[in-house]
């Protein structure tokens, strides 16, 4: 094992050949003044202690002591890369967003990630993969903060901190524990569809290049006339989908636990640029009620009867040369939208609209949008000012509105579309939950090999659940989704199939 890990470290070093500067430059302190000796501290004579006046030593240690910032509360392990997006269809009848104007080319920064692991955790984890794209458009930044599947585990933001607590390493041991995860999922049947995806081979992509991406939620497209359509986004990998099978996972981690980053960066450095085509599904607001599920529920896919149309292509072509200033300091937020794209009423998305910019003000500080990786390519004008590390170079004393002399104009034409509202304030689950059907439909599309791998991977974790009630609740959900699926899982976890069948019969919703 030791030898394998050492080998993987060396493979990284050789992959990222050490760049030699063309000519050596004089080392300076942060103030710019030259450093004489960077190898020996100033001391009181040959035997004496180190001197407080050694400002270079003190600054060097102080800066080192402060190198780490809080890691992302989720998606801490990630890989950033630059590229460009080119639209391939005229969809001005759907959206006024400039990023889709034919003939345009928009720079992007993409961050791929795992979800639950710490910043330095192995990249082969049974986890969704983050697929976050920042478009630096001529109307400001648009972030599409998605994952590699079209759905999610839960449908209401109020459950998200609990979902993460149960799935992150245990609060007492610091180790991930399926007992905690399945305790949560046994009481969250809406996760059945996503869990089925998670435990297929696609839960272990063999490379970031070999997976699709999805916006997951519905968004609203608004055209120049103010007409609204609901839309879902799908990035389709031109490299195809490839995964690591359960029996190969241990070897893969042993061989190189930074597999995903090394694969992506080595590919781009070898001028093999991965590409994804962007597809959309479009739904008219009048059709929202036509389904037996809720199209604004993020645990559901939209059916093939809502056709996908290709609208653009993204090419990733440049490896950042500063990990911290790109990948670590990048800040993606579903609320970062541009005219022509608006949030839908999806309850998860609504919570996300708040959470990202909020955590980023904590993780990076209030002026994080001024960092080069987050800064829009268009000028920023508003009356926000000051705060920690501000450097927006704002000029002028009229930093308020209304004003007869202000030079910054409001633009009424960019007001959000007017949406009719109905009902009264409430705190209730959605009507059409339909928690199990799509999981069963998905299961039945899998090949026999994929089904076998799913049963192997899922029973591996479910078999470790010691709480009988939770185990049988989970098995009943999978049985309700598909009898063959539930029976095979029950057998693989040494459970009583007839008890599972009986429990499934008492589940109302499918
Ligand atoms: C209400 C539910 C959710 C909340 C409150 C939430 C919250 C967060 C937070 C706080 C971060 C860290 C952001 C940062 O530090 O910069 C994050 C990252 C992320 N989340 Fe969520 N999340 C939610 C649901 C989702 C869903 C449904 C998806 C997928 C569609 C998703 C995809 C991501 C991705 C891809 C990242 C990493 C972004 C990056 O690479 O920097 N999240 N989330």
Q: For 470-509, what is each residue's pLDDT tens digit?
A: 999 999 999 999 999 999 999 999 999 999 999 999 998 6
Instruction: Clarify whether residues 448 and 343 are in a common domain.
Output: no
Q: Would you say residue 29 lies in a domain?
A: no
What pLDDT does 454 receive? 98
Confirm or reject: Cβ of 327 under 6 Å from ligand 1.
no
| 438 CA → ligand 1 middle, Å | 24
What pLDDT does 296 receive? 98
Q: Would you say residue 496 lies in a domain?
A: yes
Give the integer Cα–Cα distance in Å for 403 and 154.
46
What pLDDT does 14 receive? 41
Stretch 449-472: mean pLDDT: 98
Average pLDDT over the chain reads 94
Give the integer Cα–Cα distance in Å for 192 and 475.
10
Instruction: Clarify whether residues 152 and 234 are in a common domain.
Output: yes
Instruction: Clarify whether residues 448 and 365 are in a common domain.
Output: no
The rounded percent of the chain whose pLDDT value lies above 90 is 90
Confirm or reject: Cβ of 152 under 6 Å from ligand 1.
yes
pLDDT digits (tens, 9 = 90+) for 10-32: 444 344 455 566 678 999 999 99
What pLDDT does 20 receive? 61
Instruction: Clarify whether residues 135 and 245 are in a common domain.
Output: yes
Give the integer Cα–Cα distance in Å for 457 and 477.
17
Confirm or reject: Cβ of 73 under 6 Å from ligand 1.
yes
Instruction: Clarify whether residues 151 and 239 are in a common domain.
Output: yes
Among 164, 197, 161, CA closest to 180: 164
Our CA angle for 405, 407, 412, nearest 5°, is: 105
Q: Which long-range contacts (CB under 8 A, 24 or more apart) does 68-75 make?
A: 69/328, 69/363, 69/364, 70/362, 70/363, 71/118, 71/119, 72/119, 72/359, 72/363, 73/164, 73/359, 74/115, 74/116, 74/164, 74/168, 75/113, 75/114, 75/115, 75/130, 75/132
pLDDT digits (tens, 9 = 90+) for 310-361: 999 999 999 999 999 999 999 999 999 999 999 999 999 999 999 999 999 9
376 pLDDT band (50/70/90 cuts)? very high
DSSP element (H, E) containing 80: strand 78-87
CATH number at residue 358: 2.40.180.10
Q: Does the pLDDT at position 3 exceed 80?
A: no
pLDDT digits (tens, 9 = 90+) for 166-179: 999 999 999 999 99
Q: Would you say residue 236 lies in a domain?
A: yes
Q: Would you say residue 219 lies in a domain?
A: yes
Confirm or reject: Cβ of 349 under 6 Å from ligand 1.
no
Instruction: Clarify whether residues 349 and 442 are in a common domain.
Output: no
300 pLDDT band (50/70/90 cuts)? very high
Q: Would you say residue 431 lies in a domain?
A: no
Q: Would you say residue 381 lies in a domain?
A: no
The rounded percent of the chain whose pLDDT value lies above 70 is 95
| 103 CA → ligand 1 middle, Å | 32
Indicate the top mutation candidate among 145, 330, 354 to test ligand 1's pocket, ranked by most ligand atoms within 8 A of CB. Answer: 145
pLDDT digits (tens, 9 = 90+) for 66-111: 999 999 999 999 999 999 999 999 999 999 999 999 999 999 999 9
Confirm or reject: Cβ of 147 under 6 Å from ligand 1.
yes
Instruction: Clarify whether residues 474 and 365 are in a common domain.
Output: no
Stretch 390-415: mean pLDDT: 87
Q: Does the pLDDT at position 381 exceed 60?
A: yes
Range of the domain at 494: 437-505
Q: Does the pLDDT at position 6 exceed 80?
A: no
Q: Where among 346, 370, 394 does a domain terminate?
A: 370
- Domain count of the fold of the chain: 2
Instruction: Clarify whether residues 296 and 207 are in a common domain.
Output: yes
Q: Where among 344, 370, 396 does a domain terminate?
A: 370
Q: Which atom of ligand 1 is nearest to the CA of 72?
A: 15
What pLDDT does 120 receive? 94
pLDDT digits (tens, 9 = 90+) for 240-287: 999 999 999 999 999 999 999 999 999 999 999 999 999 999 999 999
What pLDDT does 421 receive? 85
The tokens for 201 are 């081979």
Q: Would you say residue 195 lies in a domain?
A: no
Q: Does the pLDDT at position 5 exceed 50?
A: no
Q: Would you say residue 115 lies in a domain?
A: yes
Confirm or reject: Cβ of 129 under 6 Å from ligand 1.
no
Stretch 410-431: mean pLDDT: 87
Instruction: Clarify whether residues 233 and 113 are in a common domain.
Output: yes
Q: Where among 370, 387, 403 does a domain terminate?
A: 370
Instruction: Clarify whether residues 356 and 446 are in a common domain.
Output: no
Stretch 184-199: mean pLDDT: 98
420 pLDDT band (50/70/90 cuts)? confident
Q: Does the pLDDT at position 375 exceed 60?
A: yes
Instruction: Clarify whether residues 464 and 351 are in a common domain.
Output: no
Q: Which atom of ligand 1 is nearest to the CA of 80?
A: 40
Stretch 437-456: mean pLDDT: 98
Among 206, 203, 209, CA closest to 460: 203
């Amino acid at each position: 094992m030791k030898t394998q890990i050492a080998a993987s470290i060396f493979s990284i070093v050789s992959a990222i050949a050490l760049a030699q500067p063309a000519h050596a430059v004089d080392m300076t302190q942060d103030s710019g003044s030259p450093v004489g000796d960077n190898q020996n501290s100033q001391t009181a004579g040959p035997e004496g202690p180190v001197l407080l006046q050694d400002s270079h030593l003190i600054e060097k240690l102080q800066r080192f002591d402060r190198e780490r910032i809080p890691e992302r509360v989720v998606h801490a392990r990630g890989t950033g890369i630059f590229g460009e997006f080119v639209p391939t269809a005229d969809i001005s009848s759907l959206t006024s967003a400039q990023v889709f104007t034919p003939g345009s080319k928009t720079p992007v920064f993409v961050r791929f990630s795992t979800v639950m692991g710490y910043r330095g955790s192995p990249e082969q984890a049974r986890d969704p993969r983050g697929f976050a794209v920042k478009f630096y458009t001529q109307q400001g930044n648009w972030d599409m903060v998605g994952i590699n599947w079209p759905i999610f585990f839960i449908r209401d933001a109020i459950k998200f901190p609990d979902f993460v607590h149960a799935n992150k390493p245990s609060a007492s041991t610091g180790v991930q524990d399926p007992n905690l995860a399945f305790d949560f999922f046994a009481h969250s049947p809406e996760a059945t569809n996503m869990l089925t995806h998670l435990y297929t081979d696609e839960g272990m992509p063999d490379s970031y290049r070999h997976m699709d991406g999805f916006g997951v939620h519905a968004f609203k497209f608004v055209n120049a006339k103010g007409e609204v359509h609901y839309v879902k986004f799908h990035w389709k990998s031109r490299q195809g989908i490839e995964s690591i099978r359960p029996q190969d996972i241990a070897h893969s981690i042993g061989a190189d636990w930074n597999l995903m980053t090394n694969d992506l960066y080595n590919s781009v450095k070898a001028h093999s640029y991965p590409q994804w085509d962007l597809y959309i599904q479009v739904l008219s607001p009048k059709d929202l009620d036509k389904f037996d599920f809720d199209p604004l529920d993020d645990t559901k896919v939209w059916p093939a009867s809502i056709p996908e149309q290709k609208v653009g292509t993204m090419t990733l072509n440049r490896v950042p040369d500063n990990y911290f200033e790109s990948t670590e300091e990048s800040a993606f937020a579903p609320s970062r939208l541009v005219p022509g794209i608006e949030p839908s009423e999806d309850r998860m998305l609504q919570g996300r609209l708040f959470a990202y910019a909020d955590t980023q003000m904590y993780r990076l500080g209030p002026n994080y949008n001024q960092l080069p990786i987050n800064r829009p390519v268009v000028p920023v004008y508003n009356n926000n000012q000051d705060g920690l590390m501000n450097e927006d170079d704002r000029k002028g004393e009229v930093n308020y509105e209304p004003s007869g002399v202000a030079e910054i104009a409001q633009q009424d034409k960019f007001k959000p579309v007017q949406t009719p509202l109905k009902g009264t304030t409430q705190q209730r689950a959605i009507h059409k939950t339909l928690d199990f059907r799509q999981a069963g439909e998905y299961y039945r599309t899998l090949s026999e090999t994929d089904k076998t791998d799913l049963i192997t991977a899922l029973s591996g974790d479910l078999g470790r659940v010691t709480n009988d009630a939770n185990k049988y609740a989970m098995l009943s959900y999978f049985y309700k989704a598909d009898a063959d699926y539930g029976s095979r899982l029950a057998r693989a976890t040494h459970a009583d199939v007839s008890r599972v069948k009986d429990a499934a019969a008492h589940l109302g919703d499918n």
